[in-house]
Amino acid sequence: MAELKDILYKVTINAVVGSTSVAINNIHFDSRAVSKGDVFVAIKGATVDGHDYIQKALSLGAIAVVCETLPDDIQNGITYIEVEDTSSALAYMASNYYDNPSSNLRLIGVTGTNGKTTVTTLLYQLFKKAGYKVGLLSTVKIMVDNTEYKATHTTPDSITINKYLKLMNDAGVEFCFMEVSSHGIHQKRSEGLQFEGGVFTNLSHDHLDYHSTFAEYRDVKKSFFDHLPKQAFALVNIDDKNGVVMLQNTKAKQYSYALKTYADYKAQVLENELSGLLLKLNESELWTRLIGDFNAYNVAAIYGTAELLGLEKVEILRLISELESVSGRFQYMISDEKITAIVDYAHTPDALKNVLETINSIRTKNEALITVVGCGGDRDKTKRPKMGHIASALSNKVIFTSDNPRSEKPEVIIEGIEKGVEPQNFKKVISISDRKQAIKTACQMANSNDIILIAGKGHETYQEINGERFDFDDYQIVQECLKQLQK
Ligand SMILES: CC(=O)N[C@H]1[C@@H](OP(=O)(O)OP(=O)(O)OC[C@H]2O[C@@H](n3ccc(=O)[nH]c3=O)[C@H](O)[C@@H]2O)O[C@H](CO)[C@@H](O)[C@@H]1O[C@H](C)C(=O)N[C@@H](C)C(=O)N[C@H](CCC(=O)O)C(=O)O
Ligand SMILES: Nc1ncnc2c1ncn2[C@@H]1O[C@H](COP(=O)(O)OP(=O)(O)OP(=O)(O)O)[C@@H](O)[C@H]1O
Ligand SMILES: N[C@H](CCC[C@H](N)C(=O)O)C(=O)O
Ligand SMILES: [Mg+2]
């Protein structure tokens, strides 16, 4: 139980009707979850307006309503709080409700188009190995030290974030690494959290269905750094031209990492093989099991973050060499026939290009590279032809297929991808909308020493079709298909 007025601390209030000295049970932004004694926060969403559900929330027992416009029919005995911005109010209320858990641990936010899950997960692993209790909020899973919880979003809503941070406090967690997505920043899911550091990985094409322009997408990411306090650090990839943009208005202490330019944390790839990378990190050499140039960036980010958080250099280097790759990120197997299958979460043009270039830099010309890829439905349509172009230009054979079609027709999505294929690559391409069949066909096409890349779904264990999630696991399926070939 908490007093309404206590959880409103730091919320910008325009008007109050009724008493704020009432005890409330819980906070909800979804009327369907409300029960007796709760406060309902009405949010204008992308599909509907939460203000239309105020009556519903009251009928289920809400005793207070936080809204941007007061309803016409004010009910006796109910407290109404009119605020400037309900998403922001929700974030502060959630934080207050759970006793500001972000200020009781050392919270690091990682943002950027690609690499967030990789960097946060590896930092989680590294700090665990260093002997600390650690938390993780990521696309793949939420970890409260050793206890795993299911993740529904990359950056969950502010109530969920604070709920888990509170659990981390209770478990004695000292460091928490969290992914901060552009949707999360824009919807103020991470507002009011006390970050000790922010890390920027890179910025490339994604989510231009949600953010109307690339500049808007960039500025949303930038606003995360604008809000860091001056005691915090901001560590950015300075090889990315938007790295400096992130730092433009931040009050935080500024640090950089890079492969190509001078930086506080400079990485150089000495060797790049399927078994890992040999890197020079500032003045030290180290071996890591992570694969590809893009992972050299991730390692530099991890090294910098760990040092800024006070770990010893020698210890960090030792621990990085022990890190395991993150599930669904360049996860590979080699069959008895010596066919290599790689499952990777590349679902943006830039990620796909990086992964294909990495494979091309590792393989010899005699082996074929067969790529199986699709694009998600109800997501940015403009990335489809770009991914079609990249896949067909950088592989020997390509099978376009489905990737979570959601409410769209798979064939229509595939047509969008095919539009990007240039005439000289037409003959490399076939389309099979059933993803299992597509993977099976790739396995049948492959000869000894060939490489199959299955991109886009990584760790996901489902295929989402019309609101339903069916079991589907790229890694498991390719493993089965390769086994069947042996029979
Ligand atoms: C586009 C988007 O981000 N949508 C998020 C948003 O939902 P919405 O704006 O559609 O909500 P809405 O349905 O219009 O409803 C508005 C309000 O009315 C309320 N409502 C609605 C119906 C009702 O009966 N009663 C009621 O009170 C809703 O609870 C909500 O508060 O707010 C919801 C609650 O926080 C989120 O769950 C939802 O994420 C959806 C499921 C989603 O798919 N989001 C993806 C795109 C996303 O956020 N992805 C990023 C990662 C992106 C990346 O790769 O970088 C992430 O961080 O996960
Ligand atoms: N530093 C990087 N630069 C470019 N591409 C990367 C980088 N790190 C990983 N990738 C590629 O992007 C894919 C997704 O990586 P990861 O899951 O770490 O990104 P993310 O930012 O968490 O994505 P999401 O927005 O879906 O949460 C990987 O499978 C890999 O292909
Ligand atoms: N966080 C990304 C993940 C995309 C993964 C891909 N498999 C898809 O479903 O489109 C999104 O929600 O847009
Ligand atoms: Mg992620």
Q: What is the pLDDT of residues 165-211, one digit of tens each?
A: 999 999 999 999 999 999 999 999 999 999 999 999 999 877 777 77
Cβ atoms within 10 Å of 454's Cβ, excluding its own: 28
Residue 469 Cα to chain centre, angstroms: 19
Phi-psi region of 404 (alpha: psi -120 to 50; beta: other; left: phi over 0): left
Nearest residue to 414 (alpha-carbon basis) of 463, 381, 457, 455: 381
For residue 138, give every residue at least 6 positions away whose Cβ sits within 8 Å of its Cβ, in sequence order, or none: 116, 117, 120, 121, 124, 151, 154, 177, 178, 179
Q: Does residue 158 contact residue 91 with C-beta atoms inside 8 Å?
A: yes
CA distance 462 to 459: 9
Residue range 45-65, pLDDT digits in tens: 999 999 999 999 999 999 999
* Per-residue pLDDT at 465: 96
In DSSP terms, which residues pair with 234 in a beta bridge? 198, 254
Q: Nearest CA to 317 among 289, 352, 278, 281?
A: 281
Residue 483 is predicted with a pLDDT of 92
Indicate if the alpha-carbon torsion angle 257, 258, 259, 263 is positive or negative.
negative
DSSP 321: T
The residue to mutate among 28, 51, 153, 378, having the most atoms of ligand 1 within 8 angstroms of its beta carbon, is: 153
pLDDT in tens, 376-404: 999 999 999 999 999 999 999 999 999 99
User: Where does 362-428 show beta strands of DSSP type E?
Assistant: 369-373, 397-400
Find out whether 300 and 259 touch, Cβ atoms under 8 Å. yes
- Measure 99 CA to ligand 4 centroid, in angstroms: 27
Going along the chain from its start, the domains and CATH numbers come out as: 2-96 (3.40.1390.10), 100-322 (3.40.1190.10), 331-486 (3.90.190.20)
pLDDT tens digits for 140-172?
Answer: 999 999 999 999 999 999 999 999 999 999 999
Locate 14 and state its tokens. Answer: 């325009």
CB 308 within 8 A of CB 110: no
**Nearest ligand (C-alpha, residue 180):** 1
Does the beta carbon of 435 lie inside 6 Å of ligand 3? no
For a pLDDT cut of 90, what percent of the chain falls above it?
91
Quick: pLDDT tens for 288-330: 999 988 999 999 999 999 999 999 999 999 999 999 889 899 9
Under 8 Å between Cβ of 272 and 362:
yes
Q: Where is 341: in which H helix or E strand?
A: strand 340-344
Q: Which among 35, 117, 142, 183 is the best mutation to test ligand 1's pocket, defined by most ligand atoms within 8 Å of the CB? A: 183
Residues with a CB atom less than 6 Å from ligand 1: 29-32, 43, 45-48, 50, 53, 153-155, 157, 181-184
Binding-site residue numbers are 31, 112-118, 154-155, 181, 187, 189, 379, 403-406, 456, 460
Which residues on adjacent β-strands are paired with residue 141? 150
The answer on pLDDT for 259 being more than 90 is: yes
Closest Cα to atom 9, ligand 3: which residue? 376
**In the prediction, which pLDDT does 165 show?**
98
Say which residues have a Cβ less than 8 Å from residue 83's Cβ, sequence separation at least 6.
11, 12, 13, 14, 66, 67, 68, 89
Q: Cα(366)–Cα(306) distance, rounded to whole angstroms?
A: 41
Distance between Cα 345 and ligand 4 center (Å): 9
Q: What is the ipTM of this complex?
A: 0.96
List helix spans (H) across 66-192: 86-97, 116-129, 158-170, 182-186
Residue tagged 């207070």 (tokens) = 64
* CA of residue 219 to ligand 3 center, whole Å: 21
130 burial type by CB count under 10 A (0-12 exposed, 13-18 middle, 19+ buried): middle
The rounded mean pLDDT for the chain is 95
How far apart CA 343 and CA 473 sit, in angstroms, is 10
Q: Which residues are annotated as a binding site for ATP?
A: 112-118
